[in-house]
Structure 1
Amino acid sequence: MPRPPIFLEKRGYRQRRMMDAVRLLPFLGLMLWMVPLLWPVPEILPDATLEPSEPTIAMSVALRYLFGVWALLILATWALWRRTRDVASDGGADTKDGPR
């Protein structure tokens, strides 16, 4: 009786990894959207003549960052959809035995 192959075929392996990337993309986006929460914010000083001790990030930079992350997530989603649309259309059954 022949032994089943240990490794998956290259196409099936790549399709599964692409589907893993599709599943992880929302979590990556959430983490990237939370980065501005780590940026320093200006403290409210009682004396307006004092300079803040830490450099701060302008709101326009933060908004450009968030918009850039949003745009990159859209592009990444589109690219992954293009790569995995064949897998999604057949219900994920890319082997003779069906899904595992």
Structure 2
Amino acid sequence: MPRRPIFLEKRGYRQRRMMDAVRLLPFLGLMLWMVPLLWPVPAGSPDPTAPTIPMSVALRYLFGVWALLILGTWALWRRTRDVASGEDVAQPDGPR
């Protein structure tokens, strides 16, 4: 019985990594949206001179992350649309 090669072809490997990036993007977005929870909060702080982040900066950060997620999703969609539509996908041979 002939042995199959251990390594995948370069194109198939890249397509699989792109699909992995598509699956990872929502979790990355969630982590980035949680960052403002780590910023200092002025209410209840014993030191009134403690550094705080203005709400306008926090909102710009959230909308910036949102916009980057949209652009990242669009870019990954452009790279993976052939895989999602089923074009150029090599079908593995079954056992012989």
Smaller-chain TM-score bracket: 0.7 to 0.9
Aligned-residue identity in percent: 81
Give 5+ residue unaligned stretches, structure 2: none
| Correspondence 1:77 to 2:73 | yes
**Deviation at residue 19 of structure 1 after TM alignment:** 0.2
Counterparts of 2:66 and 2:43, CA distance in 1: 28
Cα deviation code 1:28-81 (max 9, x no counterpart):
000000100010010247xxxx96142000000000000100000000000000
**Paired residue for 1:96, among 76, 86, 91?**
91
Give 5+ residue unaligned stretches, structure 1: none
Q: Structure 1 length normalisation: TM-score?
A: 0.84
Counterparts of 2:67 and 2:10, CA distance in 1: 31
User: RMSD value over aligned CA atoms?
Assistant: 2.1
Q: Structure 2 length normalisation: TM-score?
A: 0.87
Q: Which runs of 4+ in 1 moved over 4 A?
A: none
